[in-house]
Every structure is written in structure tokens, then in C-alpha cells.
């Protein structure tokens, strides 16, 4: 019961923002590369069957009604295996005033996916989604809450009214809460960091890192913020997040750097300084180890 109460507090503080939606249409057997996004990407399959493929992870199957949250800066592609749906689903998403990303291959069968870039955080705290490293997914038909929210979201998009943006945000938040609590209840290791937010001391230290990853944090200062000894803080942080505090901070800095490279035209040297690296060469080496590319190549491919 205590764990349920902690999760309830965490989920009640979630916040989400989404870019305008696009409809990705794959006609026949083909793939559509979506590259890397500085934010997370939400995909909802309207019709057809296929896969999402990743550069370093196993593919995920796509089928109608599946909702997938792809972590920030994780390059991925949509693949239509063909032989699926012919024509458009009943909601006729192609009739919406939305940008359409189209790929055309051979054979019959369309796959249509509703896509949006999303930012997930907690009240007045940014970068929470940087903690997500592997995709999360659910079939909305298995949840009355998520299914109802997606039906309402599609209705908002096909018949725009005053307050449309606010309503879409609320409906998306319902879906995210349902997705995250489903993964929490299933014990998914991808959301262990979410469980750990229930620890007040660890949360204060984590929030300090999230708010300004480039600050001169140290184990001593973070343990003071958490109200613990260095040894106790390091042990509890390792157990909660799977990494020592300073290793975790390094990965967070590199995740924030990836976002800045994709979203801005700031010089690489300036970004390195902003996320806490004293030299550009050290930043470049660390970035290449984390992302498999130099900062310049990453920015070019984003």
C-alpha cells in the first residue's frame, strides 16, 4: 500500500507537452526513417501492421491501437510489412490539417501512425524524460481509460473547438499515466527511476541535477542536498537508478547535450561548457562513447 501511495503522488505530479501531430503514412512494404528527436516521440498506430526498428535495440511490433513512447535522441524507423490495411481507417486521419510523412514501397496495404514529439516532466522540473532509455508501449484496447482518451483525442483533432490544445494535453496525460502505471505494476526495469522518485532525499538530489546538469556538482554536495552521508547516498542512489551518482550525472549531461545539438545551433564548445565539460576534446570523447557519433555528426543526422 505504501508503494501505491508513493506512485500515486509521483503520477499526480506528471506534466506533458506535445508538438502538433503528424500522420505518417507508409504505402506498401517500405520503411520511413525518423532519425533522432531531441525530445521523446509518441507513436499511435491507426491502421496496418509493421515494426519500429532502432539502431541498437530489438524492434517492436506495431499493430492497430498500439501506443509507443520512444526515448529522446533514439534514432528509429517505421516499417510497414505490407499486406495490412487497404485504404484509410474510419477516422480518415489524412483529412486532418496535419503534416504527412509519406513513404511508398511495393505491394498493397497501408500503415498509418499518428506521431508527436512530447516532453515529459514533473511540476516545474524539466528533463525527466531524459531518464528513459528504452521504449515503453501498451495496447490501448486493454485499458478502458487509455482507449477512451485516444477516442476523445481523435475527436478533438477531427473537429477542432476552443480549448483544443488544452484538451489534447489532458488526454495525452491520461494515456501517459496509464502507460507508466502499467509498466510500474509489471515491474518493467525501464521505469525503475520512476519508482525511485518516491524517495524524498534522492528526489531532491536528482532534481538538482535535472535543473542544472552543467553545475559543478560533487558527491559531497549532492549527498548534503539529499540529507545523507556520502556512503549512504551513493549506495541508495546506485540501488535506485542502477548507476553511481556521478556516472548518472555524466549520462544526464550527455543526454542534455544531445538535445541542445539537435534543437539549437550553439557551437559545440559552448554546449560542452553548458553541460559541465571543461574541454571540448573531453566532451567529444565522452559523447562518442555514449551516442556512437561525434557531436558534429550527431547534429548533422538529427
**136-137-142-147 Cα dihedral, nearest 10 degrees:** 100
Is the distance from CB of 298 to CB of 258 less than 8 angstroms? yes
Range of weakest confidence among 134-148, 151-165, 249-263, 284-298:
151-165
Instruction: Name the fold adopted by 199-301.
Output: Arc Repressor Mutant, subunit A (1.10.10)
What is the pLDDT, as a whole number, of residue 92?
45
- Of 147 and 241, which is predicted with more confidence? 147
What is the pLDDT, as a whole number, of residue 9?
64
The domain limits of the chain are 14-187, 199-301
pLDDT for 5 beyond 60: no
- Of 237 and 193, which is predicted with more confidence? 237
- Of 126 and 148, which is predicted with more confidence? 148
Q: What is the CATH number of domain 14-187?
A: 2.60.120.810
Other C-beta atoms lying within 10 Å of the C-beta of residue 278? 10
Average pLDDT over residues 229-256: 90
Other C-beta atoms lying within 10 Å of the C-beta of residue 106? 9
Range of weakest confidence among 62-66, 139-143, 195-199, 206-210:
195-199
| Cα–Cα dist 47/113, whole Å | 7
pTM exceeding the 0.85 threshold for the entire prediction:
no
Q: pLDDT (tens digit, 9 = 90+) per residue, 12-39? A: 777 777 777 778 888 888 888 887 776 7
- What SS3 state is found at 150? helix
Range of weakest confidence among 69-73, 196-200, 278-282:
196-200
Question: Percentage of the chain surpassing pLDDT 90?
Answer: 30
What is the pLDDT, as a whole number, of residue 118?
81
What is the pLDDT, as a whole number, of residue 94?
42
Average pLDDT over residues 81-97: 52
Q: pLDDT (tens digit, 9 = 90+) per residue, 190-216? A: 777 776 677 888 888 988 898 889 999
CA terminus-to-terminus distance, the chain: 44
- Of 81 and 59, which is predicted with more confidence? 59
Amino acid at each position: 500500500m505504501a508503494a501505491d501511495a508513493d506512485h500515486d503522488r509521483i503520477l499526480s505530479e506528471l506534466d506533458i507537452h506535445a508538438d502538433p501531430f503528424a500522420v505518417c503514412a507508409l504505402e506498401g512494404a517500405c520503411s520511413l526513417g525518423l532519425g533522432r528527436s531531441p525530445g521523446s516521440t509518441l507513436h499511435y498506430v491507426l491502421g496496418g501492421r509493421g515494426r519500429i526498428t532502432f539502431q541498437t535495440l530489438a524492434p517492436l511490433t506495431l499493430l492497430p491501437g498500439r501506443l509507443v513512447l520512444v526515448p529522446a535522441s533514439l534514432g528509429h524507423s517505421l516499417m510497414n510489412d505490407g499486406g495490412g490495411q487497404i485504404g484509410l481507417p474510419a477516422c480518415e486521419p489524412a483529412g486532418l490539417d496535419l503534416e504527412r510523412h509519406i513513404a511508398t514501397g511495393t505491394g498493397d496495404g497501408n500503415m498509418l501512425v499518428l506521431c508527436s514529439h512530447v516532453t515529459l516532466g514533473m511540476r516545474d522540473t524539466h528533463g525527466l524524460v531524459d531518464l528513459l532509455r528504452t521504449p515503453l508501449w501498451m495496447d490501448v484496447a486493454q485499458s478502458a481509460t487509455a482507449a477512451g482518451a485516444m477516442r476523445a483525442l481523435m475527436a478533438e483533432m477531427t473537429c477542432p473547438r476552443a480549448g483544443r490544445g488544452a484538451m489534447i494535453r489532458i488526454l495525452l496525460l491520461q494515456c501517459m499515466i496509464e502507460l507508466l502505471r502499467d509498466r510500474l505494476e509489471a515491474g518493467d526495469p525501464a521505469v525503475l527511476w520512476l519508482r525511485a522518485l518516491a524517495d524524498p532525499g534522492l528526489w531532491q538530489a536528482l532534481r538538482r541535477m535535472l535543473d542544472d546538469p552543467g553545475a559543478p556538482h560533487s558527491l559531497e554536495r549532492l549527498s548534503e542536498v539529499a540529507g545523507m552521508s556520502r556512503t549512504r547516498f551513493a549506495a541508495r542512489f546506485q540501488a535506485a537508478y542502477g548507476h553511481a551518482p556521478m556516472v548518472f550525472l555524466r549520462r544526464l549531461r550527455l543526454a542534455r547535450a544531445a538535445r541542445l545539438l539537435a534543437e539549437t545551433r550553439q557551437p559545440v564548445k559552448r554546449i560542452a561548457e553548458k553541460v559541465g565539460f571543461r574541454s571540448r576534446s573531453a566532451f567529444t570523447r565522452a559523447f562518442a562513447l555514449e551516442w556512437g557519433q561525434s557531436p558534429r555528426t550527431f547534429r548533422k543526422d538529427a
